[in-house]
Amino acid sequence: MCGIVGYIGKRDSVPIVLDALARLEYRGYDSAGIAVIDAQGNLVGSKSEGRLGRLVERLRDGEPLAGSVGLGHTRWATHGKPSDANAHPLGDCSGRIAVVHNGIIENYATLRAHLLERGHVFTSETDTEVIAHLIESHYNGDLLAAVRATLRELRGAYALGVMSNYDPEHLIFARNGASPLVVGIGEGEMFVASDTPAILKYTKREIILQEGELVVVGRDGWKLSDYDGKELERDVVQIAWDMGAAEKGGFKHFMLKEIFEQPRVIKETLSGRIDDLNQVTLAAELGDVTPERLRAIGKIAITGCGTAYYAGMVGMYLLRSLVHLPVEMEVASEFRYGDPVVDGNALTIAMSQSGETADTIEAVRIAKGAHSTVLGICNALGSHLSRVADATLFTRGGPEIGVAATKTYVSQVTVMTLFALYLAALRQSTPVDRLRAIADGTKLLPAAIDLLLNASDDVRRVAKQIRKAQSVLFLGRYVNFPTALEGALKLKEIAYIHAEGYAAGEMKHGPIALLDPAVPVIGIVTDGRVREKMLSNLMESRAREAPVIIVANYGDEEAAQVADHVFWVPKVDELLSPVVNIIPLQLLAYHIADLEGKDVDQPRNLAKTVTVE
Ligand code: G6P
C-alpha cells in the first residue's frame, strides 16, 4: 500500500527511482511523484495524479529533472483523494524538505491544527504533509535531530522517507508498524524501497528495517538506529531471487506469468520437506514450535485476509480431516475485534503472502497476548509476520507482482497441506499409510498443473462466452468450498464482475433466486465425498436455465451431462484437489479480464499489500 523509493549515489537518480517505482506500482497507483536534489543543490520535483506513466510523460514533456539524490512515491489514497496536490513527495513551507509516506498518521488532525495555529500553510489534504511541517518546525541546523523529534510526535503505522537540501548527502527513512522498507547496498550508491523486487536489478544485498527503526543512508553506507539514537547492528541479507522473477518474461501480464509459474513454485515449496519414506519433515523450520508444543495444543485458529484467508480455509478442512482438532477461521479484521478465544493451548496460524498486512499482524499480536503459539505461513523473507510469529513456514513463491494472488495461493495451500500431514503424524491422528499416500500425491501436483496450463486456450473460449455476464455464482463444498470463494474473488478483483462463492448446499437458501440464463454457475465436481451432492446442486441450477460450467475429472461423463462446458482436470487425492481445481478458475478470471481490456496486474482500487487497517 503505497510504494517508496530512494536513491543516493553517483548516477542520475531519476531513471532509477522511476524504474523502481514501476516495480512497486502494485502497491498503489492512483498518483506518483519524485523529488531530487539537483546540481545546484535545489530541491525540485514533479508529481501527477494517475498511473506512473503520467508522471513519466510529464517529466518527458516538461522541465527535465536530474540529480544524484532522489525520492519517489506511488500512492494508494487514504487521506485525500488522488490528485496532483495530494501526491507525494509533500513538502514544508520553505520548500527545502520532501517527505514520502506509506501508512496512516493517526493523530494528524491534531498535529495539523497546531501547525496551522503556528502559521504553517498546507497545500494538500494528506496526513503526510504534517510530517514535513513538523520537521521544519523542529529544524535547528540538524536534520536528523528534527526527524527524530518529529517521529516522537507521530502515532500510527508508517514507513517514511525524508530528503532535504539542508543535508544533501543523506536520505532518512523510518519505519513503525506493518509498512516494510528495505535498504539495498550498492558500490558507492544506496537504494531504499518498500519491497525487494523494486531494487533487485541494482543490488541483491540488503538490510530490512524493523519496527521503530530509523536509517540514514549516504553514498557509502547506512547507519541504523532506534528513534532515540541508539545505534543498531543488522546483518546484510543476500537475496537469492533473480531479476527475471520480477520481469514479465514474454507474458502479456505478470498475473499470467505467475499462473504459469505454479508448477515450479509447488516443486520449490515441497523441496526438502518430504523424506524418502514420504514423511513430512518440518521440525527444523518450526524451531521453537517444537513437537512437544504441537502435541499439547487443544485447538487451532486460522486467520488472514483475502486470498491468504481462503488458503487458510483449505487448511482448516485438512486439519480437521487429518488432525481432528477443533479449527476456527476468522478474517483478521474480525479476529482482532471479535474477542477471539485463544489461549496457551491454542495454535494460531496466520496466513499472509506479504507478511505485512496490518490486520493480520494485529491479529497475531492479540493471539500472542493471549499466550497462543503463533505459526506464520508467509512468502516474504524477513517480513513483519515472520518476525513476530513463534515460527514461520515460508511458501517460497518468489516475488508476486500481479495484485491478484495466484502462485502464492497454491503455495500457501501446499504448505498448509504439509503442515497438516506433519501435525497428524506427530499426534498420530491419522494412519501413517494414509498420510504417506497424500504426501506422495503432492509430488504429482506440478505435472497436473502443467496439463491444465496447456488447456489455457480452452478456458479462453469459455471466457469469450461469459465475459459479458453481470453476475457469476461459484459453487463448491468441503475442501473445494474455498476454491469456489477464491475463484469468485479472482473474477471480482480483475474483471470487476460480481461473483459469489457459495457452499453449494446453501444455494437453495438464497442465491438460487438469482439464477436465470444470464447468470453462469461454475461448480467444482471433482471426485470425493461431495461429488454427487455437487451434481445435484448443479442439476438444480440447470433446471433454472443457468449456464453450467464445471471443473471435473477427466472422463467423468456423468458430470459432463449436467454441464454446458467442462474444465477437465486430472484426478488427485480429494485433499489435494484444491491446488489443481483453482487453476482453471484463475485462468478464467484472467482471460475474461484480458478480453475486456481490464488492467489485469493493477486492478482499480486494490493494492497488493494492505498496510492500513
Ligand atoms: C490484498 C491483496 C490480496 C491479498 C490480501 C492479503 O487485498 O490485494 O491479493 O490476498 O491483501 O495479503 P497478504 O499479503 O496478507 O497475503
Per residue in 349-395, pLDDT tens?
999 999 989 999 999 999 999 999 999 999 987 788 988 999 999 99
Question: How many CB atoms neighbour CB 560 within 10 A?
Answer: 15
Q: Which helix (H) or strand (E) holds 580?
A: helix 577-595
Specify the pLDDT at position 612. Answer: 74
Per-residue confidence band for 246, with pLDDT thresholds at 50, 70 and 90: low
Q: Quick one: what percent of the chain has pLDDT higher than 90? A: 82
| Cα of 613 from ligand 1 centre, angstroms | 13
Length of the chain: 613
Q: How far apart are CA 429 and CA 412, in angstroms?
A: 23
SS (H, E, C) 13-63: HHHHHHHHHHHHHHHCCCEEEEEEECCCCCEEEEEEECCHHHHHHHHHHCC
- Sheet containing 471-476: which strands, arranged edge to edge? 498-503, 471-476, 521-524, 548-553, 565-569
Q: What angle do CA 318, 521, 605 make, to 5 degrees?
A: 80
Specify the pLDDT at position 245. Answer: 63
Question: How many CB atoms neighbour CB 514 within 10 A?
Answer: 16
Q: How far apart are CA 517 and CA 63, in angstroms?
A: 56
Mean pLDDT of 589-593: 98
Is the CB of 305 inside a 6 Å radius of any atom of ligand 1? yes
Q: What angle do CA 302, 304, 307 make, to 5 degrees?
A: 115
Q: How far apart are CA 25 and CA 607, in angstroms?
A: 9
| Cα of 239 from ligand 1 centre, angstroms | 23
Is the CB of 353 inside a 6 Å radius of any atom of ligand 1? yes
Specify the pLDDT at position 24. Answer: 84
Residue 129: is its pLDDT beyond 90?
yes
Dihedral pair phi/psi, residue 91, rounded to 5°: -120, 180
- Average predicted confidence (pLDDT) for the chain: 94
Specify the pLDDT at position 230. Answer: 95
Q: Which atom of ligand 1 is nearest to the CA of 308?
A: 16
Greatest CA separation found in the chain? Answer: 80
* Distance set, CA 435 to CA 156, 189, 274, 430 (Å): 46, 52, 11, 7
Residue with CA at minimum distance from ligand 1 atom 4: 306
Per-residue confidence band for 249, with pLDDT thresholds at 50, 70 and 90: confident
Q: Which atom of ligand 1 is nearest to the CA of 306?
A: 10
Question: How many CB atoms neighbour CB 519 within 10 A?
Answer: 20
3-state SS class at 447: helix
3-state SS class at 208: strand
Q: Are 396 and 269 in contact (CB under 8 A)?
A: yes
Specify the pLDDT at position 202. Answer: 94
Residue 244: is its pLDDT beyond 70?
no
Q: Are 234 and 378 in contact (CB under 8 A)?
A: no
> Helix crossing, 456-466 with 577-595: angle to 10°?
60
Assign residue 274 a region (left: φ > 0; alpha: ψ between -120 and 50; beta: otherwise). beta
Is the CB of 360 inside a 6 Å radius of any atom of ligand 1? yes
Residue with CA at minimum distance from ligand 1 atom 15: 352
Q: Can 598 be counted among the known catalytic residues?
A: no
Specify the pLDDT at position 240. Answer: 76
| Cα of 415 from ligand 1 centre, angstroms | 17
3-state SS class at 64: coil
Is the CB of 611 inside a 6 Å radius of any atom of ligand 1? no
pLDDT one-digit tens code per residue, 284-343 = 999 999 999 999 999 999 999 999 999 999 999 999 999 999 999 999 999 988 888 899
Is the CB of 308 inside a 6 Å radius of any atom of ligand 1? yes
Is the CB of 194 inside a 6 Å radius of any atom of ligand 1? no
Per-residue confidence band for 119, with pLDDT thresholds at 50, 70 and 90: very high
Mean pLDDT of 1-12: 93
Mean pLDDT of 66-95: 92
Dihedral pair phi/psi, residue 463, rounded to 5°: -55, -40
Q: How far apart are CA 434 and CA 458, in angstroms?
A: 35
| Cα of 601 from ligand 1 centre, angstroms | 14
Q: How far apart are CA 252 and CA 255, in angstroms?
A: 9
Question: How many CB atoms neighbour CB 209 within 10 A?
Answer: 24
pLDDT one-digit tens code per residue, 453-477 = 999 999 999 999 999 999 999 999 9
| Cα of 311 from ligand 1 centre, angstroms | 11
Closest of 110, 439, 499, 403 to residue 275, by C-alpha: 439
Are β-strands 521-524 and 90-91 bridged in parallel, bridged antiparallel, or unpaired?
A: unpaired
| Cα of 609 from ligand 1 centre, angstroms | 6
pLDDT one-digit tens code per residue, 505-553 = 998 899 888 999 999 999 999 999 999 999 999 999 998 999 999 999 9
Closest of 255, 184, 247 to residue 215, by C-alpha: 184
Gyration radius of the chain's alpha carbons: 25
User: What torsion, rounded to 10 degrees, do the Cα atoms 189, 194, 195, 196 define?
Assistant: 10
pLDDT one-digit tens code per residue, 187-243 = 999 999 998 889 989 999 999 998 899 999 999 899 999 999 999 999 998 887 666
| Cα of 480 from ligand 1 centre, angstroms | 20
Q: How far apart are CA 401 and CA 403, in angstroms?
A: 6
Residue with CA at minimum distance from ligand 1 atom 7: 306
Q: How far apart are CA 8 and CA 12, in angstroms?
A: 9
pLDDT one-digit tens code per residue, 438-458 = 999 999 999 999 999 999 999
Note the pTM of the prediction, 2 decimals: 0.77
8-state DSSP, 421 = H
Per-residue confidence band for 398, with pLDDT thresholds at 50, 70 and 90: confident
Per-residue confidence band for 29, with pLDDT thresholds at 50, 70 and 90: confident
Of 354, 485, 586, 611, the one to substitute when testing ligand 1's pocket (max ligand atoms within 8 A of C-beta) is 354
Of 605, 608, 611, 612, the one to substitute when testing ligand 1's pocket (max ligand atoms within 8 A of C-beta) is 608
Is the CB of 608 inside a 6 Å radius of any atom of ligand 1? yes
Closest of 505, 433, 482, 504 to residue 315, by C-alpha: 482
**CA torsion sign, 509 to 513 to 516 to 520?**
negative
Q: Are 289 and 374 in contact (CB under 8 A)?
A: no
Catalytic hit among 47, 407, 492, 608: 608
Specify the pLDDT at position 611. Answer: 74
Of 357, 412, 413, 601, the one to substitute when testing ligand 1's pocket (max ligand atoms within 8 A of C-beta) is 357
Range 366-384 burial, b when 16+ CB lie within 10 A, else e = bbbeeebbbbbbbbbbbbb
Dihedral pair phi/psi, residue 503, rounded to 5°: -70, 120
Specify the pLDDT at position 610. Answer: 78
Residue 104: is its pLDDT beyond 80?
yes
Residue 94 C-alpha cell reads as: 520553505
> Helix crossing, 445-454 with 577-595: angle to 10°?
30
3-state SS class at 190: strand
Q: Which atom of ligand 1 is nearest to the CA of 385?
A: 15
Per-residue confidence band for 247, with pLDDT thresholds at 50, 70 and 90: confident
Catalytic hit among 2, 305, 492, 598: 2
In order of their start, the domains of the chain are 3-245 (3.60.20.10), 447-600 (3.40.50.10490)
- The more confidently predicted of residues 149 and 64 is 149
Q: Are 10 and 45 in contact (CB under 8 A)?
A: no
Specify the pLDDT at position 243. Answer: 63
Range in 105-119, 381-395, 578-592 with the lowest mean pLDDT = 381-395
Q: Which helix (H) or strand (E) holds 187?
A: none
Q: How far apart are CA 463 and CA 557, in angstroms?
A: 22
Residue 11: is its pLDDT beyond 70?
yes
What lies within 8 Å, CB to CB, of 503 at 6+ separation is 475, 476, 477, 481, 484
Residue with CA at minimum distance from ligand 1 atom 5: 306
User: What torsion, rounded to 10 degrees, do the Cα atoms 196, 201, 204, 206 define?
Assistant: -50
Q: How far apart are CA 567 and CA 556, in angstroms?
A: 11
Residue with CA at minimum distance from ligand 1 atom 2: 608
Q: Can 533 be counted among the known catalytic residues?
A: no
Beta bridge partners of 223: 216
